[in-house]
Amino acid sequence: MFKADDIADHLYFILQGQVEILALDNETPLAYQNKGSYFGEIGVLLTGVRTASVRIIITSILFCIEKNEL
């Protein structure tokens, strides 16, 4: 999906499925997010870059909002 240090220009909401938030080594799981959760807010609202990597675990449907739409 995206990797730490990528430019953060979208905030994501999970409509269906599951994603895994990964540590900076891109292997160690930090958290799992499911339907109704969101991710990407730290980079979009605070830092301008991704602070973690995200990988889809279960086929997912995501809704995204561009940074300039907030």
pTM for the predicted model, two decimal places = 0.88
Domain that holds residue 40: 10-69
Amino acid type, 57: I
Position 24 scores a pLDDT of 87
- Domains in the chain: how many in total? 1
φ/ψ of 7, rounded to 5, equals: -65, 135
Q: Is residue 25 part of a domain?
A: yes
Does some domain include residue 44? yes
Return the CATH number at 39: 2.60.120.10
Over residues 25-60, the pLDDT tens digits come to 889 999 999 999 999 999 999 999 999 999 999 999
47: in domain: yes
DSSP letters, 16-64, are: EEEEEEE-TTSSSEEEEEETT-EE-HHIIIIISB-SSEEEEEEEEEEEE
Determine, yes or no, domain membership for 51. yes
